[in-house]
């Protein structure tokens, strides 16, 4: 299971295209990783942590979580996704890969010295001009994935399991 935990504004609103990726075997392991991110929550029991987070997000006492801890973890992640605070990501093997000549095209642009590689629109234009139209098309549609690659060296993230077709993402998909 892989999720993206969104960064938030000071008002607690999720910032699109931002965040940190966590990967674990199941929902409960994801909760353990989330709890361990700060010294303020690391010592809390999973249920206490989930309840506290949900009460801050949902305002007041949250709807109770299932009794069984694994089911509670799945419900917790599902509710965070509904609020836009996390995004379910496909496993690496199922990610939306970049075009075949992606690395070759970017290396050609980089070696040309004609632009800063952080200038997404110019990199997109140059890849097309330099004979890589399929890469330029992919770059135009995958700005966030390109930024992650340039800054972090990571593979493209692919689409959220919830996607635009599914208005209610959930942890057990």
pLDDT digits (tens, 9 = 90+) for 36-53: 888 999 999 999 999 999
Average pLDDT for residues 78-88, to the nearest whole number?
Answer: 91
Q: In what order do the strands lie in the sheet with 2-5?
A: 20-23, 2-5, 86-89
pLDDT in tens, 108-141: 999 999 999 999 999 999 999 999 999 999 898 8
DSSP state of 68: S
90: confidence class by pLDDT, cuts 50, 70, 90: confident
Q: Residue 86: enclosing H or E segment and its boundaries?
A: strand 86-89
For residue 172, what are the CA distances in angstroms to 33, 81, 136?
18, 12, 35
* Dihedral angle sign, alpha carbons of residues 142, 78, 76, 31: negative
93, pLDDT greater than 70: no
Distance between CA 142 and CA 140 in Å, rounded? 6
If one compares 142 and 66, the residue with the highest pLDDT of the two is 66
């Amino acid at each position: 299971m892989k999720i993206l935990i969104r960064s938030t504004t000071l008002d607690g609103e999720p910032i699109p295209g931002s965040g940190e990726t966590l990967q674990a075997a199941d929902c409960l392991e994801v909760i353990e990783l989330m709890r361990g991110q700060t010294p303020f929550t690391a010592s809390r029991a999973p249920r206490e942590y989930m309840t506290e987070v949900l009460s801050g997000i949902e305002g007041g006492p949250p709807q109770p979580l299932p009794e069984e801890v694994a089911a509670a973890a799945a419900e917790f992640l599902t509710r965070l996704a509904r609020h836009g605070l996390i995004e379910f990501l496909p496993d690496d093997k199922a990610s939306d890969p970049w075009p075949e000549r992606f690395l070759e095209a970017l290396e050609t642009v980089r070696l040309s010295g004609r632009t800063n590689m952080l200038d997404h629109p110019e990199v997109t234009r140059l890849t097309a001009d330099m004979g890589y139209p399929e890469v330029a098309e992919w770059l135009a549609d995958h700005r966030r994935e390109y930024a992650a690659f340039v800054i972090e060296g990571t593979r493209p993230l692919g689409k959220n399991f919830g996607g635009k077709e599914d208005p209610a993402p959930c942890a057990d998909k």
